[in-house]
Amino acid sequence: MRAIALLLLAAGCASQGPNTDWRVAGGDPGNTRFSPLDQINTTNVAQLRVAWVYHTGDLPPDQHGEIQATPIIVDGVLYTTTPALAVIALHAESGTLLWRFDPRTTHDARRTDISHVNRGVVYWADAGDERIFFTAGRRLYALDARSGRPIPTFGDSGSVNLAAGLSRAIGDAYLVATSPGAIYKDLLIQGMRVGEEEGSAPGDVRAYDVRTGAIRWTFHTIPHPGEFGYDTWPPGGWATAGGANSWAGLSVDTVRGIVYVPTGSATPDFYGGARTGANLFANSLVALDAATGKRLWHFQTVHHDLWDRDLPAAPNFVTVTRGGARVDAVAQIAKSGFVFLFDRQSGKPLFDIKERAVSASDLHGEHAWPTQPFPVKPAPFARQTISIADVTEQKERFRMLRNAFFAPPSRPGSIVLPGFDGGGEWGGAAVDPETATLFVNASDVPWIAAMREVARLPPSTGAPRDGATVYAAACAACHGANRRGRDRAPSLIGLVERLSKDEVRRTIDWGRGFMPSFASLPAVERRALVQYLGYEVAASDTGGWAPPPQRATSAPYEFAGYERWRDSSGLPAIKPPWGTLSAIDLNTGEYRWRIPLGEFAALTARGIPVTGTEQYGGPIVTRGGLVFIAATQDGKIRAFDKSAGRLLWEAMLPAPGYATPSTFAVHGRQFVVVAAGGGKLGSKSSDTYVAFTLP
CA angle 57, 61, 64 (to 5 degrees): 80
pTM of the model: 0.91
Q: Cβ distance 677 to 67 under 8 Å?
A: yes
What's the pLDDT tens digit per position in 294-330? 999 999 999 999 999 999 999 999 999 999 999 999 9
Cα 642 to Cα 314, 583, 594, 624, 672: the distances in Å are: 22, 8, 11, 9, 16
Q: Looking at the structure, do residues 472 and 504 belong to the same domain, yes or no?
A: yes
pLDDT at 545: 65
DSSP 549: G
Q: What is the mean pLDDT of residues 75-86?
A: 97
535-541: long-range contacts, CB 8 A cutoff, minimum separation 24: 535/496, 535/501, 535/504, 536/501, 537/501
Q: Looking at the structure, do residues 440 and 584 belong to the same domain, yes or no?
A: yes
DSSP per position, 169-220: --TT--EE--S--EEETTEEEE--EE-SSTTPPB--EEEEETTT--EEEEE-
Q: Looking at the structure, do residues 548 and 583 belong to the same domain, yes or no?
A: no
In the sheet that holds 129-136, the strands lie side by side as: 122-126, 129-136, 139-144, 159-161
Q: Is 612 contained in some domain? A: yes
Q: Hey, is 41 helix, strand or coil?
A: coil
Q: Of 630, 653, 652, which Cα lies nearest the Cα of 640? A: 630
Label the pairing between strands 87-91 and 96-101. antiparallel
Q: Looking at the structure, do residues 535 and 623 belong to the same domain, yes or no?
A: no
Residue 553: count of CB within 10 angstroms of its CB: 19
Write down how long the chain is: 695
Q: Which domain holds residue 11?
A: 1-96+426-444+577-695
Q: Hey, is 580 helix, strand or coil?
A: strand
pLDDT at 445: 96
Q: Looking at the structure, do residues 512 and 614 belong to the same domain, yes or no?
A: no
Q: Cβ distance 673 to 78 under 8 Å?
A: yes
Report the domain count for the chain.
2
Cα 329 to Cα 32, 339, 431: the distances in Å are: 12, 12, 12
Can you say whether residue 31 is alpha, beta or left, with left for phi > 0 and alpha for psi between -120 and 50 degrees? left
Distance CA 417, CA 412 (A): 16
Distance CA 214, CA 208 (A): 5
Q: Is 103 contained in some domain? A: no
What's the pLDDT tens digit per position in 92-103? 999 999 999 999
Distance CA 131, CA 123 (A): 6
Distance CA 635, CA 630 (A): 7
Q: Is 139 contained in some domain? A: no
- Up-side HSE of residue 11: CA atoms within 13 Å toward CB? 14
Residue 625: count of CB within 10 angstroms of its CB: 21
Q: Is 203 contained in some domain? A: no
DSSP 466: P
Give 215's pLDDT tier (boundaries 50, 70, 90).
very high
Q: Looking at the structure, do residues 538 and 588 belong to the same domain, yes or no?
A: no
Q: Of 235, 80, 71, 249, which Cα lies nearest the Cα of 177? A: 249
Q: Cβ distance 141 to 133 under 8 Å?
A: yes
Distance CA 130, CA 152 (A): 14
Q: What is the mean pLDDT of residues 383-396?
A: 96
Residue type at position 464: P
Report whether the peptide linkage leading into residue 378 is cis, meaning its omega lies within 30 degrees of zero. yes
Q: Looking at the structure, do residues 521 and 666 belong to the same domain, yes or no?
A: no
Q: Looking at the structure, do residues 621 and 678 belong to the same domain, yes or no?
A: yes
Q: Is 690 contained in some domain? A: yes
What's the pLDDT tens digit per position in 165-193? 999 999 989 999 999 999 999 999 999 99
1: domain CATH number is 2.140.10.10
Report whether the peptide linkage leading into residue 418 is cis, meaning its omega lies within 30 degrees of zero. yes
Distance CA 91, CA 73 (A): 9
DSSP per position, 9-20: HHHHHHTTS--B
Q: Is 472 contained in some domain? A: yes
pLDDT at 139: 96
Q: Looking at the structure, do residues 12 and 53 belong to the same domain, yes or no?
A: yes
pLDDT over threshold 80, residue 360:
yes
Q: Cβ distance 245 to 264 under 8 Å?
A: yes
Distance CA 592, CA 439 (A): 10
Q: Hey, is 396 helix, strand or coil?
A: helix
Among the ranges given (238-252, 521-535, 553-567, 654-668), the one the predictor scored with the smallest mean pLDDT: 521-535
Q: Is 250 contained in some domain? A: no
Give 242's pLDDT tier (boundaries 50, 70, 90).
very high
DSSP 400: H
Label the pairing between strands 620-622 and 34-35. parallel
* % of the chain at pLDDT higher than 90: 78
What's the pLDDT tens digit per position in 26-75? 999 999 999 999 999 999 999 999 999 999 999 987 788 999 999 999 99
What's the pLDDT tens digit per position in 107-157? 554 445 677 999 999 999 999 999 999 999 999 999 999 999 999 999 999
Please identify, among 486, 517, 552, the residue that sits at the C-terminal boundary of a domain. 552
Q: Hey, is 109 helix, strand or coil?
A: helix
Distance CA 144, CA 292 (A): 27
Q: Looking at the structure, do residues 597 and 692 belong to the same domain, yes or no?
A: yes
Residue type at position 613: T
Crossing angle of helices 523-532 and 501-510, in 10° steps, is 130
Q: Looking at the structure, do residues 440 and 471 belong to the same domain, yes or no?
A: no
CA angle 69, 70, 74 (to 5 degrees): 125
Distance CA 638, CA 627 (A): 8
Q: Looking at the structure, do residues 16 and 70 belong to the same domain, yes or no?
A: yes
Q: Is 298 contained in some domain? A: no
516: domain CATH number is 1.10.760.10
What's the pLDDT tens digit per position in 584-634? 999 999 999 999 999 999 999 999 999 999 999 999 999 999 999 999 999
pLDDT at 212: 98
Give 547's pLDDT tier (boundaries 50, 70, 90).
low
Distance CA 669, CA 649 (A): 19
Distance CA 112, CA 503 (A): 9
